[in-house]
Structure 1
C-alpha cells in the first residue's frame, strides 16, 4: 500500500537521489574525457532555462530531469578512446553503487533507505546505458555506441531532429 512515507521517499528519489546519480554519471564522462585530453568540457544538469553556472557545471530549472556532458575534442582519435569515454558513466555508477552497498553492509552509513534507493537508481542508469539501442529520438545509447565501435569500428550515425 502506498502511504505518506512512500510519497516522501518518492520525492527524495526524484529531487535528491536521481540528480546525484546523474551527476556521478556525467562525472564519469567528464573525468575520462579530461584524462584523454578533451577541451572545453561542460556538464549540464537538468533541462529548461539556465539558473546558474559553477565553473564547468551548468544548472537548469528542471535539474532532476536530464543531464549531459559535452566537450570539443579528445587528444586521441582512436576507437579505444571513444569506447573508454562512453563506458565511463557505466563504470562510475557501478563503482559508486558498490561503494554505497559496501558501506551499508558494514554500517558505515546509517541511511539504509536512502542508500538502497541510491543503488537502485544507479543500476537503473547502468541498465539503460548498457542496452545497445537507439532511443525514440534516434540517439544511440552508450551501449549502442560501444557496440558499433567494437563491431564496425565506427561511431553510429545519428541525426538529431
Structure 2
C-alpha cells in the first residue's frame, strides 16, 4: 500500500536524487572533454527561462530531467575523443553506483540506506540506458549507439541531421530567441489586458 512515507520517498527521489544523478551524468561529459581540450563547455540543467548562469553552469527554471552538455570545439578532435566523451556519463555513473553500492554492502550509510539505495538505482538506470545501443524516441542515437557507430564505422551513420552535442554558441543563440518570443507573448498579453 502506498502511504505518506512512500510519497515522501518518491518526492525525495524525483527532486533530489534524480537531479543529482542527472547532474553527475552531465559532468561525465565535461570531465572527459577537458582531457581533449574542450572550448566553451556548458552544462545546462533544466529547460525554459534561465534562473542563473554561473560560469559554465546554466540552471533553468523547469524540470531538471531535460539537461545537456554542449561545447564549441575540441582542440584534440578525433574518433577516439568522441568515443571517450560519450563514454564519460556511463563511466561516472557506473563508478559512483559501484562505489556507493560497495560502501552500503559494507555497513556505510546507516539510517540513510534507502536514500543511497535509490541513488545507486538511478545511477545504474542511466548506465543501462546510456550503454545499450539504441535509437531514442526523438530519432537520435543514445551514447551506446554513438560509441558503437564511432567504433565500427568511424562516423555517425544514423539519419538524424542534428549534431550529437550542440555547440554552446548555438545553445545560447537558441535560448536568446526563445526568451525573445516569451517577451513578445508577455507583451501581447499585457496589450490585450489593457484593451
State if a TM-score over 0.5 links the two structures. yes
Equivalent residue for 2:67? 67
The alignment's TM-score, normalised by the length of structure 2, stands at 0.78
**Aligned equivalents of 1:63 and 1:55: distance in 2?**
21
Matched, 1:135 2:141: no
Residue 156 (structure 1) shift: 3.7
Deviation at 1:107, TM superposition (A): 2.7
- Decide which structure has greater helix share: 2
Q: What SS does the aligned partner of 1:98 have?
A: helix
Which runs of 5 or more structure 1 residues have no equivalent in the other structure? none
Aligned length: 160
1:77 aligns with 2:77: yes
1:100-119 deviation digits (Å, cap 9, x = unpaired) = 11222223323100000000
For the residues of structure 1 that align with 2:87 and 2:13, how far apart are their CA atoms?
Answer: 25
How far the C-alpha of 1:88 sits from its partner, in A, is 0.7
RMSD: 1.3
2:161 alignment partner in structure 1: 159
Moved more, 58-67 or 135-144: 58-67
Deviations 1:9-53 (A, max 9, x none): 110011000110011101110010011101000000111211111
**What CA distance in whole angstroms lies between the structure 1 residues aligned with 2:93 and 2:65?**
17
Q: Which protein shows a greater Rg?
A: 2
Does the CA-based 8 Å contact 1:14-1:64 persist in structure 2?
Answer: no
Q: Which runs of 5+ in 2 are unaligned?
A: 163-195
